[in-house]
Amino acid sequence: MSADPRAGALLYVEDEVLIQQLVECELRDAGFGLVLAADAEEALEILDSGRYQIQGLITDVNLGAGADGWAVARHARELISGLPVIYVSGKDGHEWTSSGVPNSVMITKPFVPTQIVVAISSLLNAAEPHN
């Protein structure tokens, strides 16, 4: 059973529907509440709205037209200091060191959804409360 996203949730940003569905299923099965966004614009609106208590961010780096996952994570960290962040990319991840926020994790495609569950669980367990 998933938690009420307003009580604490992960924001998952992915523009590829099939990947989003696979990872969403794995995260929900692991007990995480989720708020989904299909692109950066939607993710930024969710973050700025304050409707949800976002406890972690999982974002694809390449989100099509507009802002990318790097920008989404930077904005999220401006709003929520210390927010756990996981980036997902089909590239080798070399940009992560220069573009990623500190204390984040990069997972490269192809991956299995359990990798994301393990990574976000580790980050959440290590994170200080940021309410």
Residue 69: C-alpha distances to residues 2, 30, 41, 44, 82 (Å): 25, 24, 10, 10, 17
User: Residue 72's CB: how many other CB atoms inside 10 A?
Assistant: 28
- Residue 10, beta-bridge partner list: 34, 56
pLDDT in tens, the chain (131 residues): 344 555 689 999 999 999 999 999 999 999 999 999 999 999 999 999 999 999 999 999 999 888 999 999 999 999 999 999 999 998 877 788 888 999 999 999 899 999 999 999 999 999 755 55
Domains of the chain: 5-117 (3.40.50.2300)
Q: What is the pTM of this model?
A: 0.90
Question: For the chain, what percentages of helix, strand and coil (3-state, to nearest 5) are there?
Answer: 40, 20, 40
Tokens of 116: 């994301």
